[in-house]
Amino acid sequence: MTTLTAADLGALARGAAVLGTGGGGDPHIGRLLAEQALRVHGPVEIVSVDDLPDDACVLPVAMMGAPTVMVEKLPSADQIAIAVRTLAKYVGKTPTHIACIEAGGVNSTVPVIAAAQLGLPLVDGDGMGRAFPELQMVLPTLAGIEATPMSIVDEKGNRGVFDTISNAWAERLARSATVDMGCSAIVSLYAMTGAEVRASFVPGTLSQCLATGRAIDAARRTLRDPVAAVVDRLGGRMLHVGKVVDVQRRTTTGFARGDATVDGLDTSLGRLLVLRFQNEHLVAEIDGAAVTTTPDLIIVLDTESGEPITTEALRYGQRVSVLAAPSDERWHSPAGIELVGPRYFGYDLDPIRALETV
């Protein structure tokens, strides 16, 4: 068991935004919110997945909605704890642990806030090992675990609970409520026992986020290349280095969707890389041919600082490096590809792994 303090949050949020593959929320905002919670409530205990009691009552919590909106509409002071309490009351259980459902600049720090406010330990793991745009897109779905009962809470004080016949129905009803609530909301869902967490989670995600964030910091301090440090840390590869020359963005049906074009500076890597995103980067194409697709990770970093750039922060003129890294192997099962593969998102492509040679 380790302890997370305010001093860790910069590295945590930065590393989480790397794994967030463009989504999962802005790391600066995630850091500020969680730092405040830790200052008020003290540090949070981190519990490894292996140390969870089988009968633990684990309640994951996350922000749901369009990242383009999340950067302008912050959660209220008590919204996150209310989401957890609303679900706990509905299921009639006392939570023993809080967990992250995905990795991301906000979605790895919102659970820190919940854990701090409720005085509960936080599980070192998450439901994806990355971020995905829809709430059924978690490894617990592949393990047959139900997303609902789930709670959904807005910053104004509106609350809802959904109890659905499938995780896809949970996504559908919660997405509409999120849109009504102003395109962002806090949700608590996938209530699980410790045994279920062990069977379905990606273990060690918080540790991985911290290590990745610290690797970026360390490279900067020692004047090494922070982008190369991330490639090493995640066992990935460089896809492209260049300048953002076009960003098409629209916030529709509760998602931040769009495309970004990166003009290559090093022509040996191809000339134009296009990123297709729905909150997260889903497909990377170089000169018209897909080179990496979901479920593997497509990551955009500032070339000089190694700072992860979320999809809502992509801007003309940014000098960026685009990397690919492997996802959890369970995502490459037939059921995993059906849930989060390119065809689910409307791309007529077989999945292309990060380390495939094209």
Residues within the interface to its own copies (CB under 8 A)? 86, 90, 156-165, 169, 172-173, 176-177, 179-181
DSSP state of 103: -
CB of 161 to its own copies, least distance (A): 4
How many Å apart are CA 148 and CA 116, to the nearest integer? 24
**Two tokens, residue 64:** 């749901």
Nearer to its own copies, 70 or 177 (CB): 177
How many Å apart are CA 125 and CA 174, to the nearest integer? 24
Nearer to its own copies, 156 or 221 (CB): 156
Q: How far is CA 17 from CA 10, 26, 143, 223, in A?
A: 11, 7, 26, 22
Element (H, E) at 214: helix 205-221
CB of 85 to its own copies, least distance (A): 12
Nearer to its own copies, 174 or 230 (CB): 174
Nearer to its own copies, 85 or 198 (CB): 85
Q: Give the residue from 315, 272, 91, 109 showing the smallest Cα distance to 193.
A: 91
Nearer to its own copies, 1 or 165 (CB): 165
Nearer to its own copies, 181 or 247 (CB): 181
Element (H, E) at 260: strand 255-264
Cα 126–chain centre separation: 9
CB of 166 to its own copies, least distance (A): 9
**Two tokens, residue 200:** 């379905």
Q: Is 64 helix (H, G, I), strand (E, B) or coil?
A: strand
CB of 177 to its own copies, least distance (A): 6
CB of 234 to its own copies, least distance (A): 37
Under a CB-based contact definition with an 8 Å cutoff, are residues 263 and 322 in contact? no
**Two tokens, residue 159:** 């609350």
CB of 160 to its own copies, least distance (A): 5
Nearer to its own copies, 165 or 289 (CB): 165
Q: Indicate the residue type of 253.
A: T
CB of 101 to its own copies, least distance (A): 20
Q: Is 36 helix (H, G, I), strand (E, B) or coil?
A: helix
